[in-house]
Amino acid sequence: MIGRLRFGSGKRIDLINKNEDKKLPKQFTGKGEVKHLEFTLVKQSKRAYLYKVDNSYYEVFERRKTALCINFKERKYSDTHFKEIYPKAKDFGMWAWTFVSLDNANDKFMQFIDD
């Protein structure tokens, strides 16, 4: 972190080093469409993530990022600060995949290493 930015509304955000995107957490509980599911990072590379979900299946997905919102009311987004995103249900089959076995999930993950 390199500082904080304060807006006229009194709200502030932490500024992250320009070369440092906000990363996905190693472990978290889902919200929204995946409410109450537990996600645990198994491995990551420069191009992909592999998470274990509720000790029952695995998700592999490409690393994607989006601009940080710096003013929700006015829908203003940063040009220099980004955060990595977890895929939504509509993204599976496009840039995210689900596997029952760790071996199959790892095979898909390895495709991102070889490219």
Dig out the tokens for 110 from the structure: 């390895």
Strand partners, 96: 61, 92
The sign of the dihedral angle between the CA atoms of 18, 43, 26, 40 is: positive
User: Please, are residues 83 and 21 in contact by the beta-carbon 8 Å criterion?
Assistant: yes
The rounded distance, in Å, linking the Cα atoms of 16 and 68 is 10
pTM: 0.76
Name the residue ranges covered by the structural domains of the chain. Answer: 3-114
User: Please, are residues 109 and 52 in contact by the beta-carbon 8 Å criterion?
Assistant: no
Give pLDDT tens digits along the chain (115 positions): 444 444 444 444 454 445 567 899 999 999 988 899 999 999 999 999 999 999 999 999 999 998 888 888 888 888 888 899 999 999 999 999 999 999 999 999 999 986 5
The rounded distance, in Å, linking the Cα atoms of 17 and 81 is 8
User: Please, are residues 40 and 100 in contact by the beta-carbon 8 Å criterion?
Assistant: no
